[in-house]
Structure 1
Amino acid sequence: MVTKRALGISLLLLGLAFVGVFHAVASLAFDSGVGWIGIGLAAISLLGIVLVNTGGGSTNR
């Protein structure tokens, strides 16, 4: 069962992942050279979504 807290955190992290991807694409388009920041933000956010939805090793479900 999906809790409201997990859904809220997942949506927040999905928004951060979108911002990271947008930042990486904009960095490539404008050749600013800091695309790794966007890629890192997107990767960490997607990892967070996976951890939230799989329990993240937590046993208190």
Structure 2
Amino acid sequence: MVTKRSIAVTGILLGVAFAGVFHAVAALAYDTGLRYVGLGVAALALLGIVLENVSITGPPREEE
């Protein structure tokens, strides 16, 4: 089940991932040497999206 919290966290992490990719491309274009920082931020944000949306313990229990 998708919750409002899950959607909000995914949206925030997508924004962070986009910013990381943008900074990596800008660092490559302007030769600042910081492209790995941007790629690392983007990779961690995408990992966060996966961890937020994949349930490790199975589906949530229905409360009575």
Q: 2-side partners of 1:6 and 1:59: how far apart? A: 16
Structure 1: tracts of 5 or more residues without a match: none
Match of 1:14 in 2: 14
Q: Give aligned pairs, total.
A: 60
Q: Once the two structures are aligned, what percentage of the paired residues are identical? A: 53
TM-score scaled by length of structure 2 = 0.86
Q: What RMSD, in angstroms, separates the aligned Cα atoms of the two structures?
A: 1.3
The answer to whether 1:5 aligns with 2:9 is no
Q: 2-side partners of 1:60 and 1:23: how far apart? A: 37
- Write 1 or 2 for the structure with the bigger share of helix: 1
Task: Report the structure number with the largest CA radius of gyration.
Answer: 2
Structure 2: tracts of 5 or more residues without a match: none
